[in-house]
Structure 1
């Protein structure tokens, strides 16, 4: 892959990651509640889910999933149900008394797997990667190194963007000094998860 082609792919990767989605909502929710450092497990979990999607496409299975109505529908509705569950859980989440109590409220392990499942059940990512990768593959060169380069670029860029989202959200924590404000923000993020579920439910292949 030439430098010019990689730079073009890099720009596409940034635009993909910056676009709001369930992963960004998850990161901002964690960032505001736990701060940047405590959001790292969730960010890494998102990358596990994203990496699995990239491997799926790289192995040629993405095209199979994208062409199978049953497989795509099953994955889609699992994702919808999970996002709705996250939204309801966030809406009902109790307010935090102190920073210390909040930090121990959700384990790093739970944050990691919750976030991983958000990306694992996102069929849009599979379909998008199936459409994206061929546009940047050089036909006369070995495909594996190119796919590794593109996959690594996507994950590194997404990590950096999610860190930015977490940092931005963490700055809102100073305003969360009263139970009323905390309940309001929990309900805002809970509603956003449900909206993301509705968007995912409305997703149809071209």
Structure 2
């Protein structure tokens, strides 16, 4: 695995990370609600850490080699993303409320974040569809090491972007409820668009 391959992966990965979705919604909700966005972001990263461990164990390669299983996972993930996006459009305030629980501890916030990223269709797309395309079995690196490196790069990208999103939500949107609702509506629309694109690509392409 050379630097060109890593640069190409980072370009695609950052494009996905910068696309608003469920993770963004959770980070924004934490920024509007909590004193610190760190527990929420840590939870999101923990979900991707779980995916990375599964990928290093070889599950990603197994899934990628089974078109029918990959199609089923992609369709389920895309349908979930479109449902979530529709829910956000119908009830834009629900983005912050969905991340909210009375008396939630930092641990509960982290666990909820791990669940959100663990069910995020973007994770299915990244780990099961894109990872295998950047792994070179003949590169002299063990496949597990290459997979682990890609997973770590993704988690670092997520940590930087989601921390920034949460902090910006606190400083810019907290005093502007109408702007916060507009941002969540855009996020909901993006979720539906991404889900539709994934469905079309998998079922038609």
Q: Is TM (by shorter chain) over 0.5?
A: yes
Cα distance between partner residues in 2 of 1:117 and 1:165: 20
- How far does residue 79 in structure 1 lie from its aligned partner after superposition? 0.5
Question: Which one is further off, 8-17 or 83-92?
Answer: 8-17
CA RMSD of aligned residues (A): 3.8
Contact 1:86 1:190 in 2 (8 A): yes
Cα distance between partner residues in 2 of 1:11 and 1:120: 19
Question: Which one is further off, 43-52 or 126-135?
Answer: 43-52
Contact 1:23 1:118 in 2 (8 A): no
- How far does residue 42 in structure 1 lie from its aligned partner after superposition? 4.6
- How far does residue 62 in structure 1 lie from its aligned partner after superposition? 2.1
The 1:80–1:153 alpha-carbon spacing in structure 2 relative to 1, beyond 3 Å, is closer
The 1:79–1:40 alpha-carbon spacing in structure 2 relative to 1, beyond 3 Å, is farther
Give the TM-score of the pair, scaled to structure 1: 0.69
- How far does residue 67 in structure 1 lie from its aligned partner after superposition? 2.4
Give the TM-score of the pair, scaled to structure 2: 0.70
Cα distance between partner residues in 2 of 1:11 and 1:114: 27
Any gaps of 5 or more consecutive residues in structure 1?
Answer: none
Cα distance between partner residues in 2 of 1:147 and 1:124: 12
The 1:37–1:65 alpha-carbon spacing in structure 2 relative to 1, beyond 3 Å, is farther
**Match in the other structure for 1:55:** 53
Alignment of 1:2-21 (within 5 A): 5=2, 8=4, 11-12=7-8, 14-20=10-16
Alignment partner of 1:130 out of 132, 155, 164: 132
Any gaps of 5 or more consecutive residues in structure 2?
Answer: none
Deviation track 1:125-175 (CA, whole Å, cap 9, x = no partner) reads 31211111227x742x55545544443333223322332333344444145
Give the secondary-structure state (helix, strand or coil) at the position aligned to 1:203. helix
**Match in the other structure for 1:162:** 162
Q: In the alignment, does 2:27 pair up with 1:31?
A: yes
Cα distance between partner residues in 1 of 2:50 and 2:122: 7
Mark the structure with the bigger radius of gyration: 1
**Match in the other structure for 2:70:** 72
Cα distance between partner residues in 1 of 2:113 and 2:61: 30
